[in-house]
Structure 1
Amino acid sequence: MEKAPSGPLKGLRVLDLTRVLAGPTCTQMLGDLGAEVIKIERPGAGDDTRGFAPPFWPNTQESAYFLGVNRNKKSLTLDIAAPEGQEIIHRLLETCDILVENFKVGALAKYGLGYEQLKAKHPGLIYCSITGFGQTGPYAPRPGYDALIQGMGGVMSLTGEPDGLPQKVGVPVADLFAGLYGCIGILAALRHRERTGQGQQIDIGMLDTSVAWLANQGMNYLATGENPPRLGNQHPNIAPYQVFPTKDGHIVLSVGNDPTFERFCKSFGCEQLLADERFQTNANRVANRDAVTEALTPVMQSRTTAEWVAALEERKIGCGPINKLSEVFADPHVQARGCVVPLQHASGETVKVIANPVRLSGTPADYRIPPPQLGEHAEEVLSGLLGMSAAELQALKDKGVV
């Protein structure tokens, strides 16, 4: 039996018109926090990510990709291009607090489902639109994809070796950040609605959010007018804060300030560096980063990674191994924090998902519903929520609407 919601958003209902990653990331977060999420999918096909495989989860027809961002959702297949499908959306909106969509700009308006078309009838509706480039501006009509947003947003120009190609981040961060910023916007809009009773549209553009998380590098440019160079695994503002080779692999060494650098040098036989003006302050070390790397590389190669981790942690100097995913999920701290959650899938298989990292002491995230099979909850939503008869439901199935 499905577990009752218990999170801080318990009692809220979300109509989820999203697919792939940015939108589903947003709606999964809402679901994890207790909202009831009704995911609308295309009949016969569903969310594109159902086919983003291999790998499929063993003994299921679900891709690992889809499973990662679609728990705590009920799947209803619906052809929103059909008048009957649009009518069902309107009936569902009578019961919903939030609508999240990531269609191209203006696409939902063709079906009478744009924000301007809905707000008069549903003044309290919170309507979150997640697109590549936002609802306005010269690029608004363009489709948005993670890799091209990483390129256009600047992070690829900052990532990679100095003499190598620009590199994208190894996971789709532009999608993920857009989804999380969308969730933040929704939570703020809920607070506003508590005070005023009024909903609003939240306009999330992936390019906007990518510019926002340029963070220190974006500010470095604004302060100097100079494009930051690619530095490989080095930090633009701190040294040494980078990857070093060890006797048997590599390690990240993070020396965040001058006292820590002094402690490192005195602990590991490098006192002579403290008398060298190039190394005496962080600003000098950043200006002479190549010399820092040259001086410390043979030192770091004198011990194994495990030996360095033990020695540096004992002296409270930041460091860490570079783990493969097999090592990440086997890490005792990751396991102690419960970063993987097993769920019983409708196929009968147990699937593992990555836990929500937001740890609330009073209303923690819960895991009520495993990622759904396509259309799994059609009867529950249409008959249970909207009161549709079995004959009406069958007629919609026969017409391919559901």
Structure 2
Amino acid sequence: MLSQPLSSYKVLDLSRVRAGPTAVRQLSDWGAQVIKIDMPKDNSNDDNDETDTSDYQNIQRNKRSIAINLKHSDGLHIFKQLVSTADILIESFRPDVKYRLGIDYETLRQINPQLIYASISGFGQTGPYKNRPGYDQIVQGMGGLMSITGLPGQGPVRAGIPIADLSTGLILANGILIALLERHSSGQGQWIETSLLATQIFMLDLQAARYLVDGQIPIQAGNHHPTTIPTGTFRTLDGHITIAASEQIEFRNLCKILNIESLITNPDYLTIEKRSINREKLNMELEKIFSTKSTDYWINELNKANIACGPIYHINETFADPQVKHLQLTTQIEHPKRGSIEILGQPITMSRSQWLIHRIAPRCGEHTREILNELGYKTNEIDDLINRHVVYVSCLSVK
């Protein structure tokens, strides 16, 4: 029977928006017991509850929710009770907020020295921008990504997904797993922190190396690779195709398939470096040929020669592709209002362990009573906490 390897770990989730929940999702899908700490809004209207939306189900699944007023001393006491038995805490407040609430790492480690405390911020926990609000698009701009995305001369373009948020969440999850491994030898937790800005710059990867090592300032290269040519997108008779054929043998085979073998010995295209310098002229030559036949025709011919290629799909076509279906990346789960919904899962398979989406995203405060019962509170005590607005059982969670 396949196992869920993180099922023994307890996670407190104080994160908001997307980066923090992305980190939590990496843990909860593999079995971690997650309690979402919601801070309620009064007078909320359940008819407009965001928990019914597709993205909320995508990002907040596999959690239970308790709604606590952390500004109330009794609410803070309940939270610290949860901390005492937790393995991991994930938060994405602005750096000063955790100190104002009295839930910073140094305070909580006195309660639980084994606690792994993981923080996400827009710009870092220290420095001149530490208290600025940081969002994905802002950081895509400041982190250099928008200057290299899009067609040459087009002006800055954001990526089509919140890449700074998503990559920051994945990086934080990686750090948490490293800290868990370290805890096995030291017996101690630690504070992990990353920021959208730091992670977005890390994600520049080869483009950062071009600047830091070679002194080049990368610019927009559109749908073509910035250095290895031909690697890019070309019009076909009925759409577009994307190819990667920059190595010498790949380029020779490509020219043979396109029946333009004269390009193989053309001095402008003899090496990877020459092809990069003369990229525009070469790409025009290739597109002349690609535009004469269909995408399916070229994919069939190029695959025969083991040249990497693929169609440019709309997302509905992506999920309809037979290889995508074979990978079993999605799963069905029942939602009380929306019925059976399909959720995207994890892209990792293991021989003895599995990811699992077993719980829809919780409504704010949905499990308040249940979690307090587990802490030892009696029904009348819980009723009293609700009446005094220390905890809530129904409310809208804060974005």
TM-score (norm 2): 0.94
- Across the aligned residues of Structure 1 and Structure 2, the Cα RMSD in angstroms comes to 2.0
The gaps in structure 2 that reach 5 residues or longer are 392-399
1:99 aligns with 2:109: no
1:386 aligns with 2:370: no
Aligned pairs (5 A) from 1:318-329: 318-329=308-319
- Which residue number corresponds to residue 56 of structure 1? none
Task: Between the two structures, name the one with larger relative contact order (CA 8 Å, sep ≥ 6).
Answer: 2
Deviation at 1:348, TM superposition (A): 6.8
> Which of 347, 358, 361 pairs up with 1:368?
358
> Which of 168, 176, 186 pairs up with 1:186?
176
Give yes or no for contact 2:85–2:112 (8 Å, CA) kept in 1: no
Deviation at 1:51, TM superposition (A): 7.0
Q: Give the AA of the match of 1:286.
A: S
- Which residue number corresponds to residue 265 of structure 2? 275
Question: Alpha carbons of 1:46 and 1:362: their partners in 2 closer, same or farther (altered >3 Å)?
Answer: farther
- Which residue number corresponds to residue 294 of structure 1? 284
1:77 aligns with 2:67: yes
Q: Give the AA of the match of 1:113.
A: I
Aligned pairs (5 A) from 1:57-68: 62-68=52-58
- Which residue number corresponds to residue 39 of structure 1? 36
1:397 aligns with 2:386: yes
Deviation at 1:173, TM superposition (A): 0.5
Question: What is the CA–CA distance in structure 1 between the aligned matches of 2:39 and 2:186, rounded to whole Å?
Answer: 35
- Which residue number corresponds to residue 17 of structure 2? 20
Q: Give the AA of the match of 2:11.
A: V
Q: Give the AA of the match of 2:381.
A: E
- Which residue number corresponds to residue 312 of structure 1? 302
Give yes or no for contact 1:6–1:366 (8 Å, CA) kept in 2: no
Q: Give the AA of the match of 1:36.
A: Q
Question: What is the CA–CA distance in structure 2 between the aligned matches of 1:381 and 1:306, rounded to whole Å?
Answer: 55
Q: Give the AA of the match of 1:10.
A: S
SS state of the match for residue 224, structure 1? coil
Q: Deviations over 1:177-209 (max 9, x none)?
A: 110010000000001111011110001111111
SS state of the match for residue 264, structure 1? helix
Deviation at 1:45, TM superposition (A): 7.3
Q: Deviations over 1:136-161 (max 9, x none)?
A: 22211111100000000001110011
Question: Alpha carbons of 1:236 and 1:298: their partners in 2 closer, same or farther (altered >3 Å)?
Answer: same
Give yes or no for contact 1:52–1:65 (8 Å, CA) kept in 2: no
- Which residue number corresponds to residue 201 of structure 2? 211
- How many residues matched? 389
Question: Alpha carbons of 1:254 and 1:51: their partners in 2 closer, same or farther (altered >3 Å)?
Answer: farther
Give yes or no for contact 1:346–1:372 (8 Å, CA) kept in 2: no
Deviation at 1:255, TM superposition (A): 0.8
Question: Alpha carbons of 1:357 and 1:201: their partners in 2 closer, same or farther (altered >3 Å)?
Answer: same
Alignment identity in percent? 37
Question: What is the CA–CA distance in structure 2 between the aligned matches of 1:40 and 1:22, rounded to whole Å?
Answer: 16
Q: Give the AA of the match of 1:18.
A: S
